[in-house]
Structure formats: structure tokens, C-alpha cells
Amino acid sequence: MLFRPARHAIERVRYEPKRRLLTVATRAQLTPSMLRFTFTSPDLADFRSRAPDDHVKLFLPDPHGPGEVMRDYTPRAFDEAARF
């Protein structure tokens, strides 16, 4: 049996979930059914997005009653210096 070392090692990094208060800095209509939002906040000082499969959860007020609705989104880019 021939042993071949792995060329690439996949390392999963998990960060502790943290709620942050964000401000919408820009909103762009990309297509009739797709929007791009840019968020900013001092709360993003310790935010990290290291992989293309990262995701963030947004908690928004429920328009149909009390409580919140949750949506998952994938960050397209993150500027650590600018915090957006």
C-alpha cells in the first residue's frame, strides 16, 4: 500500500458567536432581485472572515409581529482596517 501525504490540509476555524450592532453604509441594486449592502461598525473591530465559505447571520425585526427573523449571508469582502 502506497502512502501519499495530503497536499492540502483543511483546517476548520470556529469563532465564538457574537452579536454586533451594524449600520448600513451603502445599498446597491445589483439585479432586480439582488441587493448588495455594506455595513460598518466599531463592533467589527474583532470580526474575522478567513474563508470563502464563511457566513454571517443577520437578525432583523419581524415585519409580521414581535421578535426577529434570521437570515444567513456570505461576506463578499471585509476590510479590517476600515471595519466594513
| pLDDT attached to residue 25 | 92
The reply to whether 49 falls in a domain is yes
Mean pLDDT of 12-39: 89
The reply to whether 32 falls in a domain is yes
| pLDDT attached to residue 66 | 92
| pLDDT attached to residue 78 | 80
The reply to whether 4 falls in a domain is no
The reply to whether 68 falls in a domain is yes
The reply to whether 64 falls in a domain is yes
**Of 83, 80, 77, which is closest to residue 25 (Cα–Cα)?**
83
The structure's pTM equals 0.66
Total number of domains in the chain: 1
The reply to whether 61 falls in a domain is yes
Q: Give the integer Cα–Cα distance in Å for 34 and 36.
A: 7
Give the domain extent around 41.
23-73
pLDDT tens-digit profile of 35-75? 888 888 899 888 887 777 788 888 989 999 999 999 888 88
> Does the structure show a pLDDT above 90 at 17?
no
